[in-house]
Amino acid sequence: MKISIGADHAGYELKEKLKQYIQRKGLETEDMGTDSTESTDYPDYSFKVAKSVVRGDSDFGILVCWTGNGMAIAANRLKKARAALCLNERMAELSRQHNNANILCIPSLFVDEENAYKILDKFLSSEFEGGRHERRVNKIDNYD
């Protein structure tokens, strides 16, 4: 499994910890930036991660910023990107089960390191349920 990960300056430190955590689990990561806490524009990194996921270069994406909202909004501009802002494990689980989310957005302001690991683990271990949810996700993915 390959995971693309990106963050702006406010998410940089948590992104680095998540990247190391993912690698310790034996999964491949591709770091799409940023590389410091110097002020940056979150859409730049959001688009890079979302493009990687939509093209199939990565299985999943992870985005980290201060609130997670900007990253999610930007990523969801790309057709077939399904970025979910998750503040806890249950949100991560349901985002996969019901929405087939392929990008996890974590807000560094509201989620500490330990909970970020739990959210990530739940996101990666949850499966899309399909069924009635598949019909709904298809409507999103195919909307012009």
Measured CA to CA in angstroms, residue 50 lies from 63, 112, 137 at distances of: 9, 24, 17
Name the residue among 83, 95, 89, 2 with its Cα closest to residue 45: 83
Assess whether 9 carries a catalytic annotation.
Answer: no
The sheet with strand 28-31 has its strands ordered as: 28-31, 2-7, 60-65, 103-107, 83-85
Given the residues 98, 99, 133, 137, the one annotated as active site: 98
CA distance 79 to 143: 8
Active-site residue set: 98
